[in-house]
Amino acid sequence: MNVLIYLVPMALGLGLLGLFAFLWALKSGQYSDVDGAALRVLSDDDLEK
Amino acid sequence: MTETLDLSLYAKPAGDGTLDMELAVDGIACGACIARVEGAVKRLPGVTEARLNYTNRRLRVAWTNGAVEPADILRALEESGYHGHPFVPMRAEQEEAAEARKLTRCMAVAGFAAMNIMLLSVSVWSGNVTDITPETRDFFHWASALIALPAAAYAGRPFFESAWRALKARSLNMDVPISLGIILALGMSLVETANHAEHAYFDSAIMLLFFLLVGRTLDHAMRRKTRAVAGNLAALKAETAHRFAGGELVSVPVAALKAGDRLLIKPGERVPADGTVLSGNSEIDESLITGETARRKVASGSTIYAGSMNYSGALTLNVTAPGGAALIDEIEKLLDKAASAKSRVMRLADRASRVYAPVVHATAGLTFVGWLLAGASLHDAIVTAIAVLIITCPCALALAIPAVQVVASGALFRANVILNAGDAIERFAEADTVVFDKTGTLTLPAPRVVNADSIDAELLQIAARLALSSRHPLAVALSREAVTRAPYEGAVEEPGQGVRTVIDGAEARLGSRAFCGAIDQGADSLLPKASASAGTNGEGDAGASHIYFSLRGRGIQIEISQLIRPDAVGVVKALRERGLDLHILSGDRPEAVESVARALGIEQWEAGVKPADKIARIEEWKGQGRRVLMVGDGLNDAPALAAAHVSLSPISAADVTQAHADAVFLGERLQPVLDAVELSRRARILMTENLWLAAIYNAIAVPIAIAGAVTPLIAALAMSGSSLLVTLNALRAGGRKP
């Protein structure tokens, strides 16, 4: 069972990665307009004509 | 005359030579609007950024200082079919946004910690009944401690801070037992881990924290959503005033007015601030302030109040009290008194926690003493007493009421009721007497044509279209009937008399009787005699006003009056069926009140009631043990709204009035009043049910804990189970109809 010595910290590290990704998304305002984001993805304005 | 619009009040310097402005945008209907709104604004020279928040319908624009005027941005929006309203985010809203972010971060941290600790804990639980080695178990416990302690220190702050504030004020709230339970559970688990024990309670403590944070975050999000809608509506309502600057007139937002400013108030406009009239003669409608629908004549030297409607002539006003500060002294004094009386109402949750905390702490103390007396070791007695505290940690109790509040305020939001106060739901449910104001509450805020059925439809249409050219309030009311929304070209308004234009070679006139009859003497006899009686104080429908129209020797008399809200009769009936006692207290004349009361079948009504009398009546009912729900919109109602047990006001109400109401309702219908009562009553039942569920859970769990039989597995199951049960029960508050 010695494998747990590095497997558990690794699992924790991956979890932390997810947590920080969420906190970063929150901080950069990605949750401030949830409805708008769903609609903006449908617009083609940013494409080169 | 083109008038410049000065919006510099709203533009905020952003530091790098750019200015920043936030606009509430009206008319956004679909996803395509995002690109259209942003595109329209970005095309302007100098605009560096335009971003529309679709969720709260707000547009943020940044531009290089001097390159473009804020008014141009509004015009660009207007041209593409949207209305923009400059917006100053309220301080409270910004604070709440910061609070919401903090709660979400705490919830994310607690969620991460809870999931990882549960993984480790489930391994330990299953290992304990199979073949886990003590070394592995210790490793897992230490790993849990490593996650739990920093996570709790970070995510528990909202609870710890609130509990600390309560303790410093020498009182107890629900956060005190929560904080105590979490800290004790973590501390004991740490000691047990150091002693290589089989059980640790890190999972229970962190799961508890996570559940509670989810509840609080949702509660907060709901409140913020309603706050944002209310903020936008306030921005939409914000009006501009015409200020004399040198020899010119400049449009400025009402918020920018200062005492001593000189304003021009055109006919058909609301008076933006308190002041004295310098010149001009007019009639003003003060129904929003006093409830009185008859107009008052004003001339040079008269004092007029913000919110009055200017009817017939242009006035020059010297501002004495700008903007929202404008309040009649008497009303202000009454308000202060009434508002302080209200804060004494205690919330259901506080009552529950006041009973709960001492009982739990006493039980834990007795358990400790009991086990010591029974001969248990000090360690075992402490462990058991702490187990009692952990298992009774009021997770279900703390969720019982907020969970219902979240769901019920969502349902109210869909029913067009926006809550100002979080605990208003409880108080709505308790109401047994409903007091209505008349003008603007039972009746529609704006007058309407009432005799459309009895006059020539074709003439009415022409008259209504002609009315589009005038800003006189009666013409504005008439113009709502117009199907074709384009005004006639070449329409001329004669101030104080009416509008005229030439249609197919014949002159059409709309306005006073004398004005319409003056085309030729013959037409005068064709004009119908004022029905029932002459003049504006007709007896047929008290408070009705008449406007006349003539074309080619044909004339009609159009009657315009305050109409009762379309569904008022049904709502009043439904409220009575629910056992509520209904009253009307109005500042208007008895004839006007009586006709409305009779139409609605409300027998108890009083007219000509002054603000102080309204409060006196409400206090009298309170003295009889009644819980009064006050529904009103006028400035004269504001003190009564504050004095009542719970209050509701339509969105058309004066700002000060809205600020003192517990909830605001939208739309033309009275249905939201009924919905508010219905949904709140159901929510109240569910709150009580939830409190009982939490109590039953404790009644089962506490004896097990006192007996010392609680393992972490039982604790986790019992606590999560009861929280889930309470939350699921709360969801029932959201159904559309009971």
CA distance A44 to chain B (A): 10
Instruction: For B600-643, give the DSSP string.
Output: HT--EEE-S--HHHHHHHHHHHHHTT--EEEE--SGGGHHHHHH
Q: What is the mean pLDDT of residues B647-660?
A: 78
Residue B323 has pLDDT above 90, yes or no: no
Residue type, B594: E
End-to-end, the C-alpha distance of chain B in Å comes to: 57
When pLDDT is cut at 50, 70 and 90, the band that residue B90 belongs to is low
Determine whether the interchain pair A11/B116 forms a contact, defined as Cβ–Cβ distance below 8 Å.
Answer: yes
**How far, in Å, CA of B361 to CA of B179, rounded?**
13
E strand or H helix at B397, and its extent? helix B395-414
Residue B101 has pLDDT above 70, yes or no: yes
Residue B49, phi then psi, degrees to nearest 5? -150, 140
Q: Which residues in chain A are closer than 8 Å to B110, comparing Cβ atoms?
A: none
- Angle in degrees, 0-180, between the axes of helices B134-155 and B202-237, rounded to the nearest 10: 20
**How far, in Å, CA of B729 to CA of B690, rounded?**
7
Q: Which residues in chain A are closer than 8 Å to B104, comparing Cβ atoms?
A: 26, 31
In the prediction, which pLDDT does B107 show? 95
B133 lies within 8 A of chain A by CB: yes
- Angle in degrees, 0-180, between the axes of helices B671-706 and B568-577, rounded to the nearest 10: 30
**How far, in Å, CA of B509 to CA of B516, rounded?**
5
**How far, in Å, CA of B7 to CA of B633, rounded?**
29
Determine whether the interchain pair B108/A36 forms a contact, defined as Cβ–Cβ distance below 8 Å.
Answer: no
Q: Which residues in chain B are closer than 8 Å to A47, comparing Cβ atoms?
A: none
User: Is B437 annotated as catalytic?
Assistant: yes
- Among the residue ranges B106-110, B152-156, B410-414, the one predicted with the least confidence is B410-414
Determine whether the interchain pair A12/B147 forms a contact, defined as Cβ–Cβ distance below 8 Å.
Answer: yes
Report whether B542 contacts B589 (CB < 8 A): yes
B54 lies within 8 A of chain A by CB: yes
B192 Cβ contact partners less than 8 Å away, ≥ 6 residues apart: B141, B199, B200, B383
- Catalytic-role residue among B423, B437, B662, B675: B437
Q: How far from the centroid of its chain's Cα atoms is residue B87's Cα?
A: 17
When pLDDT is cut at 50, 70 and 90, the band that residue A46 belongs to is low
Of B31, B52, B105, which has the smallest distance from its Cβ to A42's Cβ?
Answer: B31
When pLDDT is cut at 50, 70 and 90, the band that residue B152 belongs to is very high
Q: Which residues in chain A are closer than 8 Å to B139, comparing Cβ atoms?
A: 4-5, 8
**How far, in Å, CA of B196 to CA of B99, rounded?**
40
**How far, in Å, CA of B62 to CA of B68, rounded?**
10
**How far, in Å, CA of B503 to CA of B630, rounded?**
50
In the prediction, which pLDDT does B257 show? 79
Report whether B676 contacts B665 (CB < 8 A): yes
Determine whether the interchain pair B109/A19 forms a contact, defined as Cβ–Cβ distance below 8 Å.
Answer: yes
Determine whether the interchain pair B136/A1 forms a contact, defined as Cβ–Cβ distance below 8 Å.
Answer: yes
Q: From A27, which residue of chain B is nearest by alpha-carbon distance?
A: B101
Q: From A22, which residue of chain B is nearest by alpha-carbon distance?
A: B108
Q: Which residues in chain A are closer than 8 Å to B32, comparing Cβ atoms?
A: 43
Of A19, A35, A43, which has the smallest distance from its Cβ to B112's Cβ?
Answer: A19
> Largest Cα–Cα distance of chain A, in whole Å?
60
Beta bridge partners of B327: none
> Largest Cα–Cα distance of chain B, in whole Å?
114
pLDDT tens digits along B247-287: 777 888 777 778 888 888 887 777 888 888 888 888 888 77
How far CA B409 is from CA of B403, B466, B553, B652, B659, in Å, comes to 10, 45, 58, 21, 18
User: How many C-beta atoms surround the C-beta of residue B734 within 10 A?
Assistant: 18
What letter would DSSP give residue B278? E
In the prediction, which pLDDT does B156 show? 94
pLDDT tens digits along B220-255: 887 777 777 777 777 776 667 888 877 777 888 777
**How far, in Å, CA of B268 to CA of B476, rounded?**
8
Residue type, B649: S
B229 lies within 8 A of chain A by CB: no
When pLDDT is cut at 50, 70 and 90, the band that residue B502 belongs to is confident
Which strand ranges, in their side-by-side order, compose the sheet holding B282-285? B296-298, B282-285, B309-310
In the prediction, which pLDDT does B541 show? 47
Q: Record the pTM.
A: 0.75
Determine whether the interchain pair A22/B147 forms a contact, defined as Cβ–Cβ distance below 8 Å.
Answer: no
CA distance A47 to chain B (A): 13
Report whether B71 contacts B86 (CB < 8 A): no
Here the tokens at position B523 are 């037409």
Here the tokens at position B518 are 């003056």
CA neighbor of B584 nearest in space, from B574, B659, B572: B572
Q: What is the mean pLDDT of residues B368-379?
A: 88
Residue B1 has pLDDT above 50, yes or no: no
Q: Which residues in chain B are closer than 8 Å to A42, comparing Cβ atoms?
A: 31
B108 lies within 8 A of chain A by CB: yes
Q: Which of A6, A39, A42, A45 to mutate to test the interface with B (most CBs of B within 10 A)?
A: A39
Determine whether the interchain pair A26/B105 forms a contact, defined as Cβ–Cβ distance below 8 Å.
Answer: yes
When pLDDT is cut at 50, 70 and 90, the band that residue B534 belongs to is very low
Residue type, B113: A
Report whether B300 contacts B279 (CB < 8 A): yes
Residue B554 has pLDDT above 50, yes or no: yes
B107 Cβ contact partners less than 8 Å away, ≥ 6 residues apart: B155, B210, B213, B214, B216, B217
Q: Which of B22, B28, B34 to mutate to test the interface with A (most CBs of A within 10 A)?
A: B34
In the prediction, which pLDDT does B373 show? 92
**How far, in Å, CA of B291 to CA of B27, rounded?**
32
Q: What is the mean pLDDT of residues B290-294?
A: 71
Q: Which residue has the higher pLDDT, B149 or A44?
A: B149
What's the mean pLDDT when you consider all of chain B?
Answer: 81
Highest mean pLDDT out of B141-145, B240-244, B332-336, B620-624? B141-145
User: How many C-beta atoms surround the C-beta of residue B244 within 10 A?
Assistant: 13
pLDDT tens digits along B454-464: 787 888 888 88
CA distance B23 to chain A (A): 15
Q: Which residues in chain B are closer than 8 Å to A26, comparing Cβ atoms?
A: 101, 104-105, 108
In the prediction, which pLDDT does B540 show? 41
Q: Which residues in chain B are closer than 8 Å to A33, comparing Cβ atoms?
A: 53-56
CA neighbor of B673 nearest in space, from B647, B654, B652, B653: B647
B289 Cβ contact partners less than 8 Å away, ≥ 6 residues apart: B305, B307, B308, B328, B634, B635, B636, B654
Q: Which residue has the tokens 């505290």?
A: B389
B130 lies within 8 A of chain A by CB: no
When pLDDT is cut at 50, 70 and 90, the band that residue B614 belongs to is confident
CA distance B422 to chain A (A): 23
Instruction: For B227-270, give the DSSP string.
Output: HHHHHHHHHHH--EEEEEETTEEEEEEGGG--TT-EEEE-TT-B
- Using CB atoms within 10 Å of the CB of residue B367, give its burial: 0 to 12 exposed, 13 to 18 middle, 19+ buried: buried
Of B53, B105, B112, which has the smallest distance from its Cβ to A32's Cβ?
Answer: B53
Q: Count contacts between A and B (CB, < 8 Å).
A: 57
- In this structure, the strands spanning B554-561 and B448-449 are antiparallel
Query: Please, what are the domains in chain B?
Result: 1-88 (3.30.70.100), 94-226+345-405+682-734 (no CATH), 417-445+565-666 (3.40.50.1000), 448-561 (3.40.1110.10)
- Among the residue ranges B268-277, B335-344, B533-542, the one predicted with the least confidence is B533-542
B120 lies within 8 A of chain A by CB: yes
**How far, in Å, CA of B60 to CA of B51, rounded?**
5
Q: What is the mean pLDDT of residues B614-627?
A: 87
Determine whether the interchain pair A26/B108 forms a contact, defined as Cβ–Cβ distance below 8 Å.
Answer: yes
